Amino acid sequence: MSTAEEFEKLSENQRLKAAVHHTTLQICKEHSASQDVQLNRMVVASISETVWRKFEAWATDLELFAKHAKRSTINADDVKMLIRKSPKLLAHMNQVHEQIVATKNEGKKKTKKSTAKD
């Protein structure tokens, strides 16, 4: 890899890390307001860095789960396997998943109706 390519990859990496930090700060701001505590820049940065490492760990595991099922595309079941040890978290994720599927099916029904009218 030439130095120019290496530099570009570095910038993309930095951009993504900045995006994670931005969203981390937003979420922390929302929650600190409700809990009446003051945020600390270093704490937010640490949380951001920890999420980043989590993404890395999740990516590796998800790829492995999908491969184990002889797939190259990761699906919802793979994600649910990540959190199998936390029952409450899993229950919440199942709910979220149902919502996603429900919205998806509503979208499909609407397109079916419009094609039927034609």
Partner 1 sequence: MAASFKQKTVQKILQMYFKDEKTKMNPESLALISELAEIFIAEACMRTAKQAQKDGDTELSLEQFEKILPQLLLNF
**Interface residues toward partner 1, by CB under 8 A:** 12-13, 16, 19-20, 23-24, 26-32, 35-40, 42-43, 46-47, 50-52, 54-56, 58-60, 62-63, 66-67, 72-76, 78-80, 82-83, 85-86, 89, 92-93, 96-97, 100-101, 104
CA distance 101 to 95: 10
CA angle 41, 43, 85 (to 5 degrees): 150
Smallest separation, CB 2 to partner 1 (Å): 19
- 84 vs 109 by CB, closer to partner 1: 84
Crossing angle for the helix pair 3-35 and 41-68, to the nearest 10 degrees: 110
